[in-house]
Amino acid sequence: MSLLATRKSTSYLVVHCTATPEGKDFTAADIDRMHRQRGFTMIGYHYIIRLDGRVEPGRPENAVGAHVEGHNANSVGISYIGGVDAKGKAKDTRTAAQKSAMVRLLKELRIRYPNTKILGHRDFSPDLNGNGKVDPNERIKECPCFDAIPEYAAL
Ligand SMILES: [Zn+2]
In-domain check, residue 76:
yes
Does the residue 1 lie in any domain?
no
Is 86 inside a domain boundary?
A: yes
pLDDT of residue 2: 54
What is the model's pTM?
0.95
User: How far apart are the C-alpha atoms of 57 and 33, rounded to whole Å?
Assistant: 14
Residue 65 lies in a domain: yes
Which domain does 105 fall in, by range? Answer: 12-151
* Rounded distance between C-alpha atoms, residue 86 and residue 132, angstroms: 34
Q: Indicate the number of domains in the chain.
A: 1
Q: What's the CATH code of the domain at 64?
A: 3.40.80.10
The residues carrying an active-site annotation are 16, 45, 121, 141, 143
Taking the centre of ligand 1 as the mean of its atom positions, its distance from the CA of residue 144, in whole angstroms, is 6
pLDDT in tens, the chain (155 residues): 457 999 999 999 999 999 999 999 999 999 999 999 999 999 999 999 999 999 999 999 999 999 999 999 999 999 999 999 999 999 999 999 999 999 999 999 999 999 999 999 999 999 999 999 999 999 989 999 999 999 999 99
In a domain, 7, yes or no: no
Q: Which residues surround ligand 1, an ion (CB under 5 A)?
A: 16, 121, 143
Instruction: Name every residue whose Cβ is closer than 8 Å to that of residue 54 and which is 6 or more positions away in sequence.
Output: 101
| Residue of 79, 71, 85, 90 lying closest to 7 (CA atoms) | 71
Residue 5 inside a domain? The answer is: no
